[in-house]
Amino acid sequence: MRITIFLIIISLVISCGDNNPQLSKKEMEWKIYNRTVDTDDPNYPLEIIEDGYKIIRAYHKDASKIGYVEFPAKDEVEWGWKSTVRNKSNKRLKVTVTYILKDKDRFTITSDKDYEYADPGDTVTIRSTSSMNFQNVKRVYSSSGSISYYEQ
């Protein structure tokens, strides 16, 4: 009888623990790349110094209701990315990067976009965070992106 009660109490303590999904240390490390802009234009004004992404944290989002719309509970992750870019032109540029996480078949899992202004000769780091479903973390195989600019 004592052992049964003890096991029930242990089970309750364990099940009442942290509800957040767990990430490995490897999943939370930066994946950094040194890539170039894919262009045939020798005068393209931007140079990519480096880019990368990491999974920041995992969390549980409780079910909610807004008006008549119900949103189920779900596990999510916050992920972040950065792209360091140098403006090689003599003009101020608005640099926009769309960062994409892909699976092994190169299907897009999620993407995010942000921008920074870069003065002539300056190097800027464009960074942002976004969220995605926790189940997608294991699917992430690679990343890619697109970069565009507008003269200011």
**What's the CATH code, domain 20-151?**
2.60.40
Phi/psi of residue 17, each to 5°?
Answer: -75, -160
Kindly report whether the global pTM for this prediction surpasses the value 0.85.
no
The pLDDT of 29-35, averaged and rounded, is 95
Amino acid at 130: S
> Residue for token digits 């479903």?
133
With a CB cutoff of 8 Å and minimum separation 6, the contacts of 95 are: 46, 85, 87, 115, 116, 117, 118, 124, 126, 147, 148, 149
Over residues 109-126, the pLDDT tens digits come to 999 999 999 999 999 999
**H/E element, 127:** strand 123-133
CB 141 within 8 A of CB 102: yes
CB 82 within 8 A of CB 130: no
Residues 42-91 have pLDDT tens digits of 899 999 999 999 999 999 999 999 999 999 999 999 999 999 999 999 99
